[in-house]
Amino acid sequence: MRLQAQHGRTLIELMIALAIGLFITGTAIGLVLSNRQTYNMTEGLSRIQEAARTGFELLARDIRDAGLNSCGGALQFVNVLNNPSSLWWTQWNGGLRGYGGSEAFAGAPFGSAAGQRVAGTSALQVMRTGSQPQTVSAHDTATQTLTFSPANRALATGDLAIVCNFSQASLFQVTGANGTQAEHSNAGSPGNCSRGLGFANPPDCSATGQTYRFEANAVAMRLESLAWYVGNNGRTTTTSRSLYRVAPQNNAGTLSLVAEEVIDGVVDLQLDYLVEGTTAYVAATAVTDWNAVLGVRLQLIIDEPDRPSTAADRVRRTMTHVVMLRNRMS
């Protein structure tokens, strides 16, 4: 009888091949997971850097222009709005006011609801004029009408505005507007306490007030009041805090506060201030004259936006930036 040669693979050979295959597969999976982790880390850092760059740029733009108007430092300033001290965005404060982590701010009350300020974080209020100054060609004090040349391109009914010349600046609410004019009667909300724009200390809030006529070539600008703070965004699957900006918005002549979420992932904002005549930055509680502040040091703590704030492996960075106020630098 003729014997047949054995064909195929032995069990040992199959087990060795299987082991080698499992080793190669495991190595490949490990590389994929490692690359994925590296990608996630890089992506998280990129998002943090992007948030820091955007946040610092937006904050710096507002801070640099704090208190800015096209007339510079007018000799006299009068606010003829009704009860200006009752609303933070109608009370002219020279352009800048900071609040420490334990100081209450009416524009962003402390709380845990979405949009409310996180306790222990700073807040910053800025007041400035808009970027479209308009030249006054005539001012009729009898009809409380400012006429602009060549046209009224910036002021609408309900806007807060400043009109100024080399000697005086007046803050008022526009009570009527068209393509060439703006009115300043004592109507509207909050409205003006008088029809006159003349200087008095305290302001003359009689019906006619102090009559003052702005000559041709005076300048009128829209007033912009705003504030920055860190608030709760109401999310739990991603970071639960964001950088917010709150400002009054004009809706068909009615002003109301609107808080906008600007950058997610910002979990803390801390501010210090450089006061004229000093060399060290101090906290808001140590500033006694906000008109003497020359610079602001910003510190942002930013989490990886796509990770929950409770995640132990989240990426977090602390970044610092310094901004000087343009109109206060000699």
For 46-89, what is each residue's pLDDT tens digit?
Answer: 888 999 999 999 999 999 999 888 787 657 899 999 999 899 99
* pLDDT value of position 70: 79
pLDDT value at residue 305: 80
- The pLDDT value given to residue 189: 86
Nearest-10 Cα torsion for 251, 253, 254, 256: 50
Q: What is the pLDDT of residues 214-246, one digit of tens each?
A: 999 999 999 999 999 999 999 988 889 999 999
H-type alpha helices, 1-157: 11-64
> CA 146, CA 188: separation in Å to the nearest integer?
17
Residue 112 banded pLDDT, cuts 50, 70, 90: very high
| Mean predicted confidence (pLDDT) in 158-163 | 96
Lowest mean pLDDT among 10-14, 120-124, 139-143, 297-301: 10-14
Residue 160, φ and ψ in degrees, nearest 5: -90, 140
Kindly report the pTM of this predicted structure: 0.85
Residues 131-148: tens digit of each pLDDT? 889 999 999 999 999 999
> What is the chain's mean pLDDT, rounded?
90
Model pLDDT, residue 257 = 95
Strands 254-264 and 281-282: unpaired
Average pLDDT score over residue span 287-304: 95
Partners of residue 299 on adjacent β-strands = 270, 320
C-alpha dihedral, 284 to 286 to 288 to 289, nearest 10°: -50
pLDDT class for 19, splitting at 50, 70, 90?
confident
